[in-house]
Structure 1
Amino acid sequence: MNKTISINLGGFFFHIDEDAYQKLSRYFDAVKRSLSPEGRDEIIKDIESRIAELFQERIKNEKQVITLSEIDEVIAIMGQPEDYKIDEETSYSNERTYTSSSKTGRNKRLYRDKDNAILGGVASGFGHYFNIDPLWIRLGIVLIVVAGVGSPILIYLLLWVIVPEAITTSQKLEMRGEPITISNIEKKVKEGINDISDKINNIDHQKIANSARSGANQIGATLSDLFLSFFKIISKVIGLFIIFFSAMALLGILIGSIFMIFSSSLPDSYIFNNFHTPLDFDVPMWIQGLLLLFAAGIPLFFLLVLGIKLLVTNMKSLGNNFKYSLLAIWIVALIGITYLGIQQATAVGFEGKSVKKEQIFIQPTDTLFVRMQYNNYYAKSLYERENHKYTHDENNKEIIYSTKVRVHFLKTEENQPFLQVERSATGKSHKEATSRSEKIRYNFDIQGNRITLDNYFTTAFGNKFRDQEVNIYIYLPNGTYVKPDESIQDYDRSDNDFFNLHYDSDEYIYQVEGNKTICTNCPVEDNDEESDNEDEDTVEKMSIRVNNKEINIDVTDDRLRIEAE
């Protein structure tokens, strides 16, 4: 049984067993002995940081203990100190090239290169990433600005904030796509030391040449600090908003989906009457709940993590395995929703209807009375409305009850009025939709000049709800008198250009005159709106009596005519 030791490596705490700790200590001692004193501390610090990153990639949780196997894997990546001999001419060379021959790009990451920066180092970073000279990137930005295309300055500032700066030696090696090994770390550190030494030796010769660039760099550094501070504040505010809204939305999705998942134990009547989902009820509610949770919840979860990362810059990564697993589940959920959505669309892709026509025989001087009635078994008032409701009829049979009934008054050229009832529904084929419409049970009654219409219809529960509705068309010949009951008001869907039902009273009688139905006994104020809509060439007449003589005054098209009798 080995002891477990807690160590601090590169700013991170790890639990390591005693044998692994001893081997790691011997490895660091060997590295120190192989390094020259110049820059040794910085090299060791970078090596520790890199090894800490490798340990983090290999542990699944904070309590996992690092063993000899993890130490061997890390040493295999970093290499043994005695395996590396650095060529002085190549190690200390100051020349930087951007060809693809020395960069494999296998482990390359995007950073800002402040060592070769004019402002923020964005162009230099992209130059390393794409293996091109940053000069071409800078020229491209200048040309875009001159051409006035897009907002390159804003994009540059955003990249300045988003792309991290390569600070450590490991990050600079990653930026160039070079393996992070002991030899490369030592090489990079010594290059930096030689750069500083050369600059000190040549400072007198370069003082005048670099004065302008130094001033530009100072201005750039100041602007960089200002922009970074500003965008950091903006990013924090944006992060707070993202966290708040994504958390609220995710909470709602969680509650709704969990309720749907566990609603399978509820009665069918409760689900049918209280749940309204885009998918058919043939799909179990628990499946719909899972699809909702994964399809909407996973993007909201990642959005929440993004908001937290904007606030907490050193937040630990979720791990690639976890992220890719969530991505795979999300894709499967989207595929499931797409498939079920297509199934639902095809289930209501066709509309069918069945039509029943009934002749109404009345005298030209008769008034046609129309009223709606309800069944007090299903409702206690004419004004109780249900688009679709699962219930039972008087014989305790499962049915769908609906008040989706519409009344339309229209004109006909026939001599007698007639009534036409159209029952409609949808289905995956015209034949199925028509068959489903024929199964709608709707009643009406015609007794002489009185029409009584049900305000509801029913259909068997097995027919499902497929946009079933009933439309009643009452065709009226010219000159017909009609008196709609007050109960018609909420069901009337007539074209107002032909029949404009007044809602103040159910005592009004209407008559079809030409292409319009007029109210014969409405108060003057109720007809004011209709009078205002008449054409300007409407004839106005007025009669007055003077000295027992009647004078008729007609105004037609702005012409005045006066006749005395």
Structure 2
Amino acid sequence: MNKTVNINLAGIFFHIDEDAYLKLQRYLEAIKRSFTDSQGRSEIIADIEARIAELFNERVQNNKQVIRIKEVDEVISIMGQPEDYLVDDEIFEDEPQTTYKRKTAPSKKLFRDTDNSYISGVSSGLGHYFGIDAIWVRLAWIILFSAAGTGILLYILLWILVPEAKTTAEKIMMTGEPVNISNIEKKIKDGFENVTETVSDVAKNVSESVSDAAKNVSSTVSDATKNIDFQKQGNKIKSSSKTFFDTLGEVIMFFFKVFAKFIGILLILIGAFSLIVLIIALFSVGIIDIIHIPGLDLVEIANAGNTPLWLASLLSFFAVGIPFFFLFYLGLKILINNLKSIGNIAKFTLLGLWLISTIGVAIIIIREASEHVYNEKYIEKTELQIKANDTLSIKMVGDTKFSQNFYKYHNFRLANDNDGNKMIYSADVHIIVKSTTDSVASMVIEKSSDGRSYDKSIERAKNINYNYAFSNSNLLLDPYLTTNPENKISDQEIKIILYLPEGSIVKFDKNTKHFLTNHKHNGNIVLSKGAGNFLEIIEDDTKCLDCPAKKEKEKDFKVKVNTPNLKINDEGIEVKSDSNSLKVDDTGLKVKSDVVKVNIDSTGINIESKN
């Protein structure tokens, strides 16, 4: 059983094993001794402790976990020993070496560089991350801002989600350098050098020290080369084969990371574009019933379930937009290693909001679908004083506000009548003609509509307005139906069924063509192609009285020939037998034998004989 100690390291509380604590304490004291005479000693020590606390925090799963010697050793291996930065042990090749472990290059992390920022440091941070000058990133933002403002949302999200490089360790990670004692010391000293008035003196001293160090290294290398151990060189050659496979693995991982970055960029573009489209849709459709945008009233009359449009738009926005937001966030996570988390509270809040919105959208869809469960008909019947041998003329007429060249279309539209009242109208009107043995013609008008119940469906069907007029054997029909917007778009339809006695004559005006059917079904006997002609009603059919007589088609004359001596084709007839032949074509008749030749054509008859 080990004793634990509670420590406060850079403002972060940790539980640490006593042995690990003693080792960490000795390590920090050694670091403090190594910087006794260094400029900015307190700042260096504070940043080193902050970096150690950050590394401990990455290895702790929960706040009750105890830091052990294992974690302390890992942190020390990352930070390095103070003496490692005073003498490079690798130049002493005669010293015993432990197992060779190849150090991988540190990966960059994305931070906002507020020290070199104009607004928030996003551009400067991206410049460090991609290794390019920040001016090119800022130029790219200008282009994105001008492209329909698509870059504004991306810039704001990066501003919110990408953390600021506050500590020295974060500023080092931003440039891709390893966060160890040497780089922390260098970063802080560079900061002091930037504000001191003796920059030139310090630069001179640094230059001289580097020169001396280079001379020392050169002399040391020279001495080492005098005592080359060929066996050791052979071992190095063997170890180089191992590094080849390590390098190959790194190359494969590099291309894998490039592919992953490409996927991340693709997810970001898809997510951002979808969110922008959803925001535009929310502000255009969702506020129709609040500010009454002109021209979009059709959305309201299509809302048969009477669900508030702002509520339906908001629920749809969250139900569709939240998955695309997480898609966008996933792309950022793939692209940026140290992206700031939005937090568990935000994640679970968005998840709950998405579930509520999805359920709400499902309820709205079910409610809307229930408005079309029933389809009932309301029937009106009228007698027309048309008997056998009488002629009935049918024509479409009506207000040009609702009819457009009498062309039949099923789309519902919204318009104002002569009194300025809004009306739903549609040309969903059908004409069907049937023969009857009754002595007098009759007309049945079927009005049909959808509804969530039988009563609602019948009520909406009754509220369909359709006008016609009959006078002096002339039937004038409206090419459209109208209804009050309160009835919504509920698949309203008008079907006119004419029962005409056998022996009567009917003529449909040509403007009725699009309201007649193209097929004979359910007893219908008049097709759209019959519009404009006088049609006599006979039993279950019609007879056209003024249609042009049909010409009988000329039948092709085909002869099947079983002998190769006889040929009959479009050019004529030809018979051949040894030296004798007979040919009949458009030019005339030609006969040829061993004794005589006969040629009959437009010039006359020519006979040649060998006798």
Q: Normalization by structure 1: what TM-score?
A: 0.52
- In 1, the alpha carbon distance for the partners of 2:320 and 2:277 equals 11
- In 1, the alpha carbon distance for the partners of 2:504 and 2:402 equals 35
Secondary structure of the structure 1 residue equivalent to 2:286: helix
Query: Which letter does structure 2 place at the counterpart of 1:245?
Result: I
Structure 1 residues 427, 28: closer, same or farther in 2, change over 3 A?
same
- In 2, the alpha carbon distance for the partners of 1:333 and 1:514 equals 61
Q: How many residues align?
A: 360
Provide the residue aligned with 1:284 in structure 2. Answer: 308
Cα shift readout 1:532-557 (whole Å, capped 9, x = no counterpart): xxxxxxxxxxxxxxxxxxxxxxxxxx
Cα shift readout 1:33-57 (whole Å, capped 9, x = no counterpart): 337999x99xx999755434389x9
| Structure 1 position 415, deviation (Å) | 5.1
Provide the residue aligned with 1:78 in structure 2. Answer: 66
Query: Which letter does structure 2 place at the counterpart of 1:501?
Result: S
- What are the within-5 Å matches in structure 2 for residues 251-266 of structure 1? 251-266=276-291
Cα shift readout 1:404-463 (whole Å, capped 9, x = no counterpart): 322233444545443210011122211221122112221112224321111222333433
Conserved 8 A contact 1:417-1:475: yes
Provide the residue aligned with 1:486 in structure 2. Answer: 510
Conserved 8 A contact 1:362-1:448: no
Provide the residue aligned with 2:46 in structure 1. Answer: none
Conserved 8 A contact 2:434-2:540: no
- What are the within-5 Å matches in structure 2 for residues 279-358 of structure 1? 279-280=303-304, 282-358=306-382
Secondary structure of the structure 1 residue equivalent to 2:312: helix
Superposed CA RMSD in Å reads 4.9
Query: Which letter does structure 2 place at the counterpart of 1:51?
Result: F
* Percent pairwise identity: 25
Provide the residue aligned with 1:407 in structure 2. Answer: 431
Structure 1 residues 276, 376: closer, same or farther in 2, change over 3 A?
closer
Conserved 8 A contact 2:403-2:479: no
| Structure 1 position 256, deviation (Å) | 0.6
| Structure 1 position 290, deviation (Å) | 0.6
Match of 1:508 among 533, 548, 559: 533
Conserved 8 A contact 1:400-1:458: yes
Cα shift readout 1:339-371 (whole Å, capped 9, x = no counterpart): 222222223321221111223333433333211
Query: Which letter does structure 1 place at the counterpart of 2:475?
Result: I
Query: Which letter does structure 1 place at the counterpart of 2:399?
Result: N
Q: Normalization by structure 2: what TM-score?
A: 0.48
Conserved 8 A contact 2:377-2:458: yes
**Does residue 1:369 correspond to 2:393, yes or no?**
yes
Query: Which letter does structure 1 place at the counterpart of 2:56?
Result: I
Secondary structure of the structure 2 residue equivalent to 1:368: strand
| Structure 1 position 499, deviation (Å) | 3.6
Conserved 8 A contact 2:388-2:501: no
Cα shift readout 1:474-521 (whole Å, capped 9, x = no counterpart): 234555533211221232235256543239xx5333345555546444
Cα shift readout 1:287-314 (whole Å, capped 9, x = no counterpart): 1221121111111212222334444455
| Structure 1 position 387, deviation (Å) | 3.8
**Does residue 1:272 correspond to 2:283, yes or no?**
no
- In 2, the alpha carbon distance for the partners of 1:229 and 1:514 equals 84
Conserved 8 A contact 1:269-1:390: no
Secondary structure of the structure 2 residue equivalent to 1:357: strand
Provide the residue aligned with 2:22 in structure 1. Answer: 33
Query: Which letter does structure 1 place at the counterpart of 2:529?
Result: H
Structure 1 unmatched runs, 5+: 1-18, 58-72, 85-214, 532-565
- In 1, the alpha carbon distance for the partners of 2:317 and 2:270 equals 17
Query: Which letter does structure 2 place at the counterpart of 1:34?
Result: K
| Structure 1 position 329, deviation (Å) | 0.5
- In 2, the alpha carbon distance for the partners of 1:37 and 1:524 equals 117
Query: Which letter does structure 2 place at the counterpart of 1:358?
Result: T
Provide the residue aligned with 1:388 in structure 2. Answer: 412
- In 1, the alpha carbon distance for the partners of 2:253 and 2:391 equals 82
- What are the within-5 Å matches in structure 2 for residues 49-68 of structure 1? 50-53=55-58
Structure 1 residues 36, 254: closer, same or farther in 2, change over 3 A?
closer
Structure 2 unmatched runs, 5+: 1-7, 32-48, 73-240, 554-611
